[in-house]
């Protein structure tokens, strides 16, 4: 994510840098688990464990690119490119990250049950898929929480 940020912010006159940074997508376990919990992976028949398949054709990165093609980022900032995959990926990450909005993650949701956070902005359209139905894990990597 740092490289994308550097390319986007370093020199706005370097068009290739900006274009490259805007197109970069980083899929970490937060994003993968979010796509799983919301039912997005299931809806697109793209279910897979977190890892290299996130970047394979039809994986998490492709799904985020597809979403970016449907969102005109200029509605948020007129200086943004219309299709801005990095912006969409970062917005999704912010929804999940404990250091940001802290909504859709294992800190707020018991992975053995469906999410019950009706105040979540995507709740009405979310499938609220259980991440670890047996409670023993599902092969999806869970990173430890940052110390308080």
**51-81 confidence digits (pLDDT tens):** 999 999 999 999 999 999 999 999 999 999 9
Cβ pair 64, 25 in contact under 8 A:
yes
Q: What is the DSSP annotation of 27-76?
A: --HHHHHHHHHTTHHHHTT----SSGGGGSTTSHHHHHHHHHHHS-GGGT
What does the pLDDT read at residue 146? Answer: 45
61-to-1, 19, 94, 96, 107 alpha-carbon distances in Å = 13, 17, 16, 16, 24
What does the pLDDT read at residue 147? Answer: 45
Residue 124 structure tokens:
């009405």
DSSP single-letter state for residue 98: T
Cβ pair 97, 89 in contact under 8 A:
no
**1-51 confidence digits (pLDDT tens):** 778 777 878 887 888 887 787 888 999 999 999 999 999 999 999 999 999
What does the pLDDT read at residue 135? Answer: 60
What does the pLDDT read at residue 27? Answer: 95
How would residue 136 be classed by pLDDT, with cut points 50, 70 and 90?
A: low
């Amino acid at each position: 994510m740092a490289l994308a940020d550097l390319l986007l912010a370093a020199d706005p006159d370097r068009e290739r840098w900006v274009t490259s940074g805007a197109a970069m997508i980083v899929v970490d376990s937060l994003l993968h688990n979010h796509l799983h919990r919301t039912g997005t992976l299931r809806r697109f028949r793209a279910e897979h464990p977190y890892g290299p398949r996130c970047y394979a054709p039809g994986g998490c990165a492709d799904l985020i690119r597809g979403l970016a093609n449907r969102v005109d980022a200029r509605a948020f900032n007129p200086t943004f490119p219309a299709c801005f995959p990095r912006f969409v990926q970062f917005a999704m990450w912010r929804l999940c990250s404990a250091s940001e909005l802290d909504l859709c993650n294992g800190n707020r949701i018991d992975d053995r049950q469906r999410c019950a956070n009706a105040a979540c902005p995507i709740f009405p359209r979310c499938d609220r898929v259980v991440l670890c139905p047996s409670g023993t894990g599902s092969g999806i990597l869970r990173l430890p929480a940052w110390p308080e």
